[in-house]
Structure 1
Amino acid sequence: MDRARLRQLLARESAEAERLNPRSRAAYAGADHLFGRVPMTWMNKTAGAFPRYLDAARGARVTDIDGHDYIDFCLGDTGAMAGHSPDPVAAAVHRRFTELGGATAMLPTEDAEWVGAELTRRFGLTRWSFSLTATDANRWAIRLARAVTDRPKILVNSYSYHGSVDESLIVVGPDGRGTARPGNVGAPCDVTLTSRVAEFNDLDQLERELAHGDVAAVLMEPALTNIGIVLPEPGYLAGVRELSRRTGTLLINDETHTFSAGPGGCTAAWGLEPDLLTIGKAIGGGIPAGAYGLSAELAQRLLGREDLDLVDMGGVGGTLAGNALSMAATRATLEHVLTDEAFAHMEKLSERFEDGVRSGIERRELPWSVSRLGARTEYRFANPAPRTGTESAAAADPELEDYLHLFLANRGVLLTPFHNMALMCPATTEEDVDTHTRLFDAALAELVG
């Protein structure tokens, strides 16, 4: 690839983004009271000099304050996998907040039991509790795992994603040992004191780390997602389950992003048997919601422990968690929007997206790959596709990513800004997918001919 040509195209697209979006540029320049000029600093992870500012969103469409409409394949990095403001969720939220009131009254609602039963149907685990984010669901699952096993450490895969959980910010270093993930902010202690790490798809490394006998739980995504999709090799997940059981280690499946694999995530699609499961973002249809599930046996063990404060200040809770508004939104999302039928539609569209991307890559003989996880597809600048998180991280090319993202955004298509991920929602259409295929091909034509 001609890097000089890439930089020339990137400069052109950056200038075009500034020309097209004067109101977003001015809003960003004037955000003097925001840390990093944005509501959350990760919003600065965007191609170009500033983010585009949201005006409105509905279904699979987003409109910015400069009046541009976009086909949205980002979908809130999974948070809007149900689409933006789907009608059943909007109606349920309006009824709960406006007609009934009591969005956060610290009282349970019958919606919560319905949601728990539906999560059991989908994922298999029989006892559920709720949070506002998947990050908190992971934090509380970790506490429960440590309590019931009396072991201090958590094992994660290198470059896996579990939100801002302290224990997860560890990667395999060049010497094969665990080390802090680069850029870890204000770590409370050396992460190797709380955590162990193994590469995804590496059972030998996992076995060595579990042999120490100090790991309470393996916290993992059944497929890596936030470093680019890394799919499990045949036999890997079965090996993880066998090793964890043999060493008395609990297994926590984080399905927050891998929920794209189907109505019950990878757990149902691949017949997995975790001891705990965490999920967030998508289940609330845009309203903050998270959940963690436990096996009946594990729940009984925990509830039978008189020494654990599971009611007041024991570290497993949150005043807003499980609130009536979140539960109403989650019920509406699972009952009427992210249904079994919707997932079938979304997966078919994702297959079409994958085929279009692969065709463009192969036609120009680029050394890239494309991977798909149900309704989620991603292209990576490596071939064969990376098999570990470390390999996937090494395949990143910020200049190339920015060019592709800006080229697409300037022509009305949004991808997830953290990587080249496209997610389908129930409102996505074949025409939306074909628009991306056409623009992706045009971007490659300009870059490599």
Structure 2
Amino acid sequence: MTQEQRPTRAGLDWARAQAFLAQERARFTADHPRSAALAERARGHLLFGVPLHWMNDWDTPFALHVDHACGAQVTDVDGHTLVDFCLGDTGAMFGHSPAPVATALARQASRGYTTMLATEDAAVVGEQLAQRFGLPVWQFAMSATDANRYIVRWIRAATGRKKILVFNGCYHGTIEDVFVDLVDGRPVQRDSLLGQVHKLLDTTVVVEFNDLAALEDALKAGDVACVLAEPVMTNIGMVLPEPGFWDQAQRIIRRHGTLLVMDETHTISTGPGGYAQAHGIAADALVLGKPVGGGVPCAVYGMSAELAARAERAKREAPPGHSGIGTTLTGNMLAMAAMRAALTEVMTPDAYGHMLGLAQGLADGLRQVIARQGLPWCVTQVGARTEFQFCPTPPASGSEADRSLDGELEHLIHLGLLNRGVMITPFHNMMLVCPQTTEEQVARLTSALDEVLAQITPLR
């Protein structure tokens, strides 16, 4: 199969696309001399030249360096202001530096950062989380990765079961247990998981999303502690649950004595209580990272009263010694202040009302652009999160979603958008709107995408 014959490239002129990419890379280089100089400087002491290696996934000729970010905009060190629909890959889903969080952090900055002691903010945050998500007992972490790791450990301790089940193509941060894929229907430990020495297939079961028969079969032995899932898969391209999937899945999970963990780190885009609350999914535990502190590093995980009682009993009955479920900075004073402000003043129904309406307009605009350019692509929306995928209809499983990915095409489009003052997430084609995003900025995105696609489709 030639490059042009790849299913994701139907309707494109790949020769024009490659010429466009060369032009856009030259344009970026010419327009960003300060970023180029800083990238060269950073290469001397930072692994891969960046603070976090996947900062290179933007596929720019060198790392873009930011000067400041506020609301729905990012300004780079060369003075270009970009409309930001990436929003820190969800970390800044409620805008960069939301005023209530900034005020809370400034106040707390002179009152202590970390003491390994409780504060009033912690009590308020616990109450807010219980009210919002319907789970009564909560703990904290520094990232969703850690929150997922911690809740899995608590559940294993509470149930005495070692196995967990995940859906093919899932992403729950970098918790090692989940890096198992289905390849031609067989579970395979992901080759890209660097440094992993333990055999994950002994304790991790993987099935396709939306496959109820496979879920039933995987749980019938009664040895799976929990199903760890996003209610909508979001990190391999969005995969929506089919009608009735979660109703039936919950019955299967309960029947086999397995617990259900909802990772709402991305699907909090649905509404104030997340996707599970909005769609009647009664989880035993819930994880939320990135946006819960307005972008400040922190995460939360909650559990039902029954699970909390079992977890506490397991801890009391365990031999004395350090449990390791947490870190010294967990629940630090800065994070608690940020979460209190975010939960009470930022993640409000009014903010969601603005975001959801704007995201619907964005989804409609994307569909119009795609239709105008004659491309067989689809658009999927989950609350404030919108994505276009290189397939005619939304995928129903991780395997289907994987086949619709095309890294070269994604990066070509993303670079074209960057050069036109618009930034979307570098992984697949995900876009978020925040409370500060405007209709004019949405129109700027759709106009820029229209311009880019016109450069890579056949001349008319």
TM-score bin, normalised by smaller chain: over 0.9
2:195 corresponding residue in structure 1: 186
CA contact (8 A) 2:413 2:452 kept: yes
Deviation at 1:443, TM superposition (A): 1.2
Instruction: Report the secondary structure of 1:403's partner residue.
Output: helix
2:87 corresponding residue in structure 1: 75
Deviation at 1:308, TM superposition (A): 3.4
2:272 to 255, 263, 279: 263
Counterpart residue identity of residue 319, structure 1 = T
Deviation at 1:181, TM superposition (A): 2.3
1:315 aligns with 2:324: yes
1:224 aligns with 2:233: yes
Residue deviations 1:409-445, cap 9 Å, x none?
0011000111211101111111110100111111112
* Aligned residues: CA RMSD: 1.2
CA contact (8 A) 1:45 1:418 kept: yes
1:105 corresponding residue in structure 2: 115
CA contact (8 A) 1:89 1:329 kept: yes
Deviation at 1:239, TM superposition (A): 1.8
Q: May I ask how many residue pairs the two structures share in their alignment?
A: 445
1:433 corresponding residue in structure 2: 442
2:30 corresponding residue in structure 1: 19
1:300 corresponding residue in structure 2: 309
Counterpart residue identity of residue 233, structure 1 = E
Deviation at 1:312, TM superposition (A): 6.0
Q: Which residues of structure 1 form unaligned runs of 5+?
A: none
1:358 aligns with 2:363: no
CA contact (8 A) 1:308 1:314 kept: no
Residue deviations 1:284-336, cap 9 Å, x none?
11211100000011111222332237x96212121101111101000101111
Instruction: Report the secondary structure of 2:330's partner residue.
Output: coil
2:108 corresponding residue in structure 1: 96
Counterpart residue identity of residue 119, structure 1 = L
1:29 aligns with 2:48: no
Inter-partner Cα distance in structure 2 for 1:89 and 1:312: 37
1:418 aligns with 2:427: yes
Deviation at 1:365, TM superposition (A): 2.6
Residue deviations 1:20-43, cap 9 Å, x none?
111111211222111111101111
Instruction: Report the secondary structure of 1:160's partner residue.
Output: coil
1:402 aligns with 2:415: no
CA contact (8 A) 1:10 1:399 kept: no
Counterpart residue identity of residue 62, structure 1 = V
1:41 aligns with 2:50: no
CA contact (8 A) 2:233 2:239 kept: yes
1:208 corresponding residue in structure 2: 217
1:132 corresponding residue in structure 2: 142
1:157 corresponding residue in structure 2: 167
Inter-partner Cα distance in structure 1 for 2:358 and 2:253: 36
TM-score by length of 2: 0.95
Q: Which residues of structure 2 form unaligned runs of 5+?
A: 1-11
CA contact (8 A) 1:10 1:402 kept: no
1:2 aligns with 2:13: yes
Counterpart residue identity of residue 317, structure 1 = G
The percentage of counterpart residues that share the same residue type is 49
Inter-partner Cα distance in structure 2 for 1:44 and 1:439: 23
Inter-partner Cα distance in structure 2 for 1:440 and 1:14: 17
Inter-partner Cα distance in structure 2 for 1:390 and 1:313: 40
Residue deviations 1:225-271, cap 9 Å, x none?
11111111101111221111011101000000111011111111111
Instruction: Report the secondary structure of 2:300's partner residue.
Output: strand
2:73 to 61, 72, 76: 61
1:117 to 127, 148, 157: 127
Inter-partner Cα distance in structure 2 for 1:125 and 1:172: 32
2:6 corresponding residue in structure 1: none
CA contact (8 A) 1:7 1:399 kept: no
CA contact (8 A) 2:239 2:395 kept: yes
Residue deviations 1:349-393, cap 9 Å, x none?
100110000011122331111100000000000111111112111
CA contact (8 A) 1:346 1:375 kept: yes
Instruction: Report the secondary structure of 1:301's partner residue.
Output: helix
Q: 1:182 to 1:2 in 2, by over 3 A?
A: farther
Segments of 4+ moved more than 6 angstroms? none
1:290 corresponding residue in structure 2: 299
Deviation at 1:399, TM superposition (A): 1.9
TM-score by length of 1: 0.97
CA contact (8 A) 2:16 2:455 kept: no
